Amino acid sequence: MEIWHNPRCSKSRAAKAALDEAGVAYTERRYLDEPPTADELDAVLKRIGAEPWEVARLNEPVAKELGLKNLAHDRARWIEIMVANPVLIQRPIVLTGETAVVARDDASVRKAVEGG
């Protein structure tokens, strides 16, 4: 299990605490410090079952600067932008087995802990 974590984010800290409380082994990836490659992000999005624009943080200043709300839904272009600006990636993401979830609430964290 792996968590893409931003320690400054309360949702991310809560998900990490829930994983700790559940006693599951995981690795922590501070994705702002160690951004995913385009291939990694593409694979994670497939595991989540989402398109990049569905997990983008559109209220971030850089999203507004780039005009993401009006950007055409070109998967490769969105992934390229999100890799270059990892703050745009919704957090936290918990990867387990063949699945992944955006773990922004207790139910999503439970789903990850229970294996998808």
Residues with catalytic annotation?
Answer: 9
Q: Which two tokens stand for residue 50?
A: 């989402």
* Farthest-apart Cα atoms in the chain, separation: 42
Tell me the C-alpha distance between 81 and 57, whole Å: 12
> Each residue of 51-64: b (16+ CB within 10 Å) or e?
ebbebbbeeeeebe
